[in-house]
Structure formats: structure tokens, C-alpha cells
Amino acid sequence: MGDGGSRDDPYGNRPATAAAFVDPVWEYDHQIGKSITGGFVYRGQAIPELVGAYLYGDFVSGRLWALKLDEATGKATNVKIPWSGLPIYGFGCDADGEAYVLTSSPAGQGVFRLAPAIKAAAR
């Protein structure tokens, strides 16, 4: 084959050396979720604690997370984001970097903007 492929790799997609592989920084078991819906790195301003975090979810479980990687230590921190439990079809962001979650509900709404949690007033 002229494309560099082999019988085991007919499309030539393997790197020349194992050094080209990068280990995952995070993974989760199927007891937590069944179908990862990839997202994006949040760059908005409305939710400062999420800036720089990779937002992702699980279609089946309806869970939503923010994953941050500390570049200095290589340690990943995964935080569950409060969410309705509706299936997560995808993500989007607007021109300001604010996050939207694509889903469906019994009422038919399908695009929800993530917003900061409202803190209870002190009594």
C-alpha cells in the first residue's frame, strides 16, 4: 500500500512511535455513565469557577461535569454540575463564551444556557 498502511492498520492512522500517544487525564466507569457527550473549554464570564474547565456530560445518565487540569501537577479535578437529569445531546457557546446545553424535555425545549447557581439569601 502506498499510504503507509499495513494489514493490521489499513488506513495508516497509527503514529510512528508509541511516544506520540498521550494518556487520558480522566476517565469514568460505566456505572457512572454510559455515553459521553463531549463539550468544550468554558471561556465565559458568567460562571467564574468554570473558566478553563472542560464541560461534558453523559447522554444516558443526564449528568453534567466540569473537568479542570492543573498543568503544574498533572492532576485532574472533576466536579458535578447541578443539572435537571435530561439527556445531554450536545453543547454550544455564544460569542461571549457562555455555555449552552442541548437537550429535550417533555415540554420540547432543547437549548438551555448554563447560569451561576442562585445563592439563598442569608436570614
| Sequence ranges of the domains in the chain | 34-113
Q: For residue range 51-106, list pLDDT tens digits in order.
A: 999 999 999 999 999 999 998 998 999 999 999 899 999 999 999 999 999 998 88
Cα–Cα distance, 77 to 75 (Å, whole number):
7
The whole-model pTM stands at 0.76
Nearest Cα neighbor of 46 from 93, 114, 110, 123 is: 114
CB 90 within 8 A of CB 35: no
Q: How far is residue 15 from each of residues 2, 6, 10, 21, 24, measured CA to CA in Å? A: 16, 13, 13, 8, 17
